Structure 1
Amino acid sequence: MRRAGAMPVDAFPPLHAQARLLLRPLLPAVAFGLVGVAVLPVTARRLPWRPLLAVAWLGSVGWAVMLQLPDGISRPLTTPTEYLAELPAMGDDPVDWLRAFTMEMQAFPTHVKGHPPLPMLVLWTIQWMGLAGAGWAAAFVIVVGASATAAIGITVRVIAGEDVARRAVPFLVLSPVALWVATSVDAFFLGVAAWAVALVAVAAAGSGSSLNGVVDRSARIGSFKRVAVPFAGGLLLGALPYLSYGLLPIFALPLAVLVLTRPAWPVLMALAAGSLVVPIAFTMAGFSWWEGVVGTHVAWLISHGSRRPYAYFLLGDLAVLALLVGPAAAVALPTALRCAAGPVFTGLPGGRGRPVPDRLGWLAAAALAGVLALDLSGVTSGEVERIWIPYAAWVVTVTAVHRPPGRTMLLAQTVTALVIEAFVRSPW
């Protein structure tokens, strides 16, 4: 296809990357991964829940940093196509920049005109706080992106129970998704989306939704928090379309949580109210979301992306998703999806006599539905390593079906990430 002129971009399709060989600089990442394989399963079983979430968060930060260390942690954010290149043009008046966004967007760097303006406003705020430079931006992106491990763990605990969540944590930490958590701004999108879904799940649990006994009714929260938590979740959900147009299908995840939990009406009302805050604020500030979509589509039409072959990337994008989620998720996915389509509890081999709730597969199914919607649309023809990040992490949750401690599958995940890093040089 490349010889025929049908694939003018991408030296290493379906990845937007180049082939290479990297060995010695990866030794710290190899050591970190092997220690994680040895320690994380035991830690996940024995550590109290809240400290476990902190360890998982820190472990995810460490794994992402170790993988990116040979290429430079902040390097991906310093290219002329990235967000930081536009920061000087914003000056001291981001509201004025926002008001003129749709009129001037075609002159912006690639990723700025390919997304709504909220990521730029967040980065401007970080700089305004005195944390200027690519290093601080990279630290922010990595820390927020890695926090998704804790947020997803909380959601799985609400939906499927603590035992299942503990079994998923080691795989969430050592997931190949970490390859693009450091450093792609889409990792920030992952963190925001994950905490939005987690807050929705916690609000449902706090309202006394029983989930057929999976959620403990002692998790009820006070009247103020019963409104504040879903409102905060709605606030983050409302921000997602203003972070990336490609996050619209991820609303399948909170929808799945709501269908499973059936929370009380006050929770739904607070969630709806929170989700309106960001759209109203941006509209009042002079930004039209729909005009932004149209402008981004125009930019895509005149770019190399629109000339990429649809049929190839229809399958190639799913191959990239397979690299992101790793072999442990691939092996577990059919079982989890069968459970989701089956009775409330289905006994799985190797679960130490403990049944795995069918609801675990719902989260992965919702994430996959979002991926398929974007893939079929054709606007994600390549460069999906970063686009799939907010979705792929949820698919990894199906690894909870593996027999604890699951070190063989956990090692397979670790090796997958190391092999990709060794042979693939990505621009982010």
Structure 2
Amino acid sequence: MATGELERPRPRPAPRKRTRPHGRIVVAAWALLIMGAFVVGDLLKRAGLATEDELPPLHAAPRLLTWQVVPAACLGGAAVAVLPSLARLLPWRVLLPVSWAASTSWTVVLALTDGLDALHRPLDAPTEYPAGLDAVRAGGPAEWLRTFTERLGGYTTHVRGHPPLPTLVLWALEEIGLRGTGWSSALVVASGTSAVVAIAVTVRHIAGETLARRALPFLVLAPLTLWIATAMDAFFLGVGAWATALTAIAAKRNSFVAAAGAGLLLGTLPYFSYGLLPLFALPLAVVILARPNRRVLAILLCCAAVVPLAFATGGFWWPDGVAATRETYLISRGSAQRSYAYFVIANIAVLGLLVGPATASALPAVFSRRRPLAWLVGAALVGVLALDVSGVTKGEVERIWVPYAAWVLLASAQHDPPARRWLAAQVGLTLAIQALVQSHW
């Protein structure tokens, strides 16, 4: 009888009854917001008020796939069945590479529904970074960097829309013999999927291993996986996630090496994308929660200054880059003409697509108490809202939100495992988007 009495509280039925109505309301609001964004977007397009996008609020076109999604559906179903058990039973050191492999497999199989060349095709576009590498090859990286701002208008869309570092990374990849967009896409996918591990490591150090294990299946099967292959923003996700993870390791273990690594990676973020500046809210949240000692914090901050100093020495001044990019954006056709009033709301609907109904349902539970998980989710949401309200992200946020949305997904760890119904909902949404939407990324 004593044993039975101890076991009764484990399911905790009362708390779940109190949180379910809130979750249902939020999921209903999530669905209405997304449907409303597409309906209003279609009306704007028909009225000639939406620019560039065939399927606003996404920078994509409608389509219909059938048998092509069958392999992905089979893999998704197997992952829903197996991942919760693996997350609970595997040793932590084994679970991390297994999760990375699962995330990579899911990403690649989803991409291949568009054909065998789907992994590198987005990077072959004339607007992308690889198309701008000729300018780096012509005069060398030092000359290219020194004149980057003044020659910005002559570069491809993505090169002139970002700081120099993404282009320099792809140039360096070529220099070590890994030429072509196939290798570039491999770098993007490997980095983007590794964020699953980095985020889990962060959660383990800040909120405990139990929550990290509960979050992993949702991180692997997130709808945002569709934009891991192959948008460079997935690479930014990986860099930002590992910078935050190393910050957590440094703070909790007093590791000077981890602090140095975290600082170096954090210093790169503003030079990958101007839109990554609000992502600093995440390592800041980690620092507030973990309270590292002064030496660790000093090493982190000193190392964070290395990359900015290197770029300034090389001739690229970040504020000038921001001003030049904004100028080219305002005088360009298309995206600058998009409706602020529409996209300030529709961008949030796109975030809802990236994180799925499982995350929406769990958000009330995350913020019902002051928990470490709430700090991480809240920091990511603050970053999204800052960019959204600023008006610099009018559309195309299905890729721009990726470095932030992965952290918002942590709300799903509130679901009691194995949570296979919620995981199935995430997979179902992912397959539906892939079957009905032809993304340009």
TM over 0.5: yes
Q: What CA RMSD, in Å, does the superposition of the two structures yield over aligned residues? A: 0.9
Tell me, in whole angstroms, the C-alpha distance in 2 between the residues paired with 1:100 and 1:89: 11
Partner of 1:203: 250
Tell me, in whole angstroms, the C-alpha distance in 1 between the residues paired with 2:235 and 2:363: 26
User: Is there any run of 5+ residues in structure 2 with no aligned partner, and where?
Assistant: 1-43
Deviation at 1:231? Answer: 1.1
Tell me, in whole angstroms, the C-alpha distance in 2 between the residues paired with 1:29 and 1:94: 41
Partner of 1:193: 240
Q: Which amino acid aligns with 1:105?
A: L
TM-score between both structures, scaled by the size of structure 1: 0.91
1:257-293 deviation per Cα after TM superposition (whole angstroms, max 9, x unaligned): 1111111000110110110000000011111111110
Partner of 2:296: 267
Structure 1 position 412 matched with structure 2 position 425: yes
Structure 1 position 286 matched with structure 2 position 286: no
Partner of 1:398: 411
Structure 1 position 255 matched with structure 2 position 298: no
Structure 1 position 77 matched with structure 2 position 123: yes
Sequence identity (%): 55
Tell me, in whole angstroms, the C-alpha distance in 2 between the residues paired with 1:337 and 1:78: 42
Tell me, in whole angstroms, the C-alpha distance in 2 between the residues paired with 1:229 and 1:129: 26
* Structure-to-structure mapping, 1:33-52, within 5 angstroms: 33-52=76-95
Tell me, in whole angstroms, the C-alpha distance in 1 between the residues paired with 2:303 and 2:100: 26
1:127-147 deviation per Cα after TM superposition (whole angstroms, max 9, x unaligned): 111111111100010001100
Structure 1 position 89 matched with structure 2 position 135: yes
Tell me, in whole angstroms, the C-alpha distance in 1 between the residues paired with 2:272 and 2:379: 20
Tell me, in whole angstroms, the C-alpha distance in 1 between the residues paired with 2:227 and 2:85: 27
Structure 1 position 60 matched with structure 2 position 60: no
Deviation at 1:398? Answer: 1.0
2:418 match: secondary structure: coil
Tell me, in whole angstroms, the C-alpha distance in 1 between the residues paired with 2:146 and 2:368: 49
Say which of 146, 151, 156 aligns to 2:203: 156
Partner of 2:223: 176
Partner of 1:9: 52
1:105-147 deviation per Cα after TM superposition (whole angstroms, max 9, x unaligned): 1111100000000000100011111111111100010001100
Tell me, in whole angstroms, the C-alpha distance in 1 between the residues paired with 2:369 and 2:236: 29
Partner of 2:65: 22
1:12-71 deviation per Cα after TM superposition (whole angstroms, max 9, x unaligned): 000110000011111111111111001100000011101111011111111111111122
Partner of 1:333: 363
Tell me, in whole angstroms, the C-alpha distance in 2 between the residues paired with 1:2 and 1:136: 37
Partner of 1:239: 268
Deviation at 1:95? Answer: 1.2
Moved more, 92-101 or 380-389: 92-101
Tell me, in whole angstroms, the C-alpha distance in 2 between the residues paired with 1:338 and 1:324: 23
Partner of 1:221: none
Tell me, in whole angstroms, the C-alpha distance in 2 between the residues paired with 1:129 and 1:338: 50
Q: Which amino acid aligns with 2:190?
A: V
1:61-113 deviation per Cα after TM superposition (whole angstroms, max 9, x unaligned): 11111111122111110000000101122116111111110011111110000
Q: Which amino acid aligns with 1:409?
A: W
Partner of 2:352: 322
Q: Is the 8 A contact 2:51 2:335 kept in 1?
A: no
Tell me, in whole angstroms, the C-alpha distance in 1 between the residues paired with 2:135 and 2:291: 46
Tell me, in whole angstroms, the C-alpha distance in 1 between the residues paired with 2:240 and 2:60: 26
Tell me, in whole angstroms, the C-alpha distance in 1 between the residues paired with 2:197 and 2:187: 16
User: Is there any run of 5+ residues in structure 1 with no aligned partner, and where?
Assistant: 208-225, 341-357
1:347-376 deviation per Cα after TM superposition (whole angstroms, max 9, x unaligned): xxxxxxxxxxx1111101000000000000
Tell me, in whole angstroms, the C-alpha distance in 1 between the residues paired with 2:379 and 2:238: 17
Deviation at 1:4? Answer: 3.6
* Structure-to-structure mapping, 1:124-135, within 5 angstroms: 124-135=171-182
Q: Which amino acid aligns with 1:249?
A: P
Partner of 2:384: 371
Deviation at 1:2? Answer: 2.7
Tell me, in whole angstroms, the C-alpha distance in 1 between the residues paired with 2:388 and 2:249: 31
Tell me, in whole angstroms, the C-alpha distance in 1 between the residues paired with 2:369 and 2:82: 29
Tell me, in whole angstroms, the C-alpha distance in 1 between the residues paired with 2:363 and 2:232: 27
* Structure-to-structure mapping, 1:107-118, within 5 angstroms: 107-118=154-165
Tell me, in whole angstroms, the C-alpha distance in 1 between the residues paired with 2:368 and 2:291: 22
Partner of 1:214: none
Q: Is the 8 A contact 2:340 2:394 kept in 1?
A: yes
Deviation at 1:310? Answer: 0.6
Tell me, in whole angstroms, the C-alpha distance in 2 between the residues paired with 1:339 and 1:25: 44
Partner of 1:298: 327
Deviation at 1:3? Answer: 3.8
Q: Which amino acid aligns with 1:85?
A: A
2:149 match: secondary structure: helix
- Runs of 4+ more than 3 Å apart: none
Partner of 2:37: none
1:233-258 deviation per Cα after TM superposition (whole angstroms, max 9, x unaligned): 01100100000000000100011111
Deviation at 1:7? Answer: 1.2
1:372-421 deviation per Cα after TM superposition (whole angstroms, max 9, x unaligned): 00000011000001100000000001111101111000111111110000
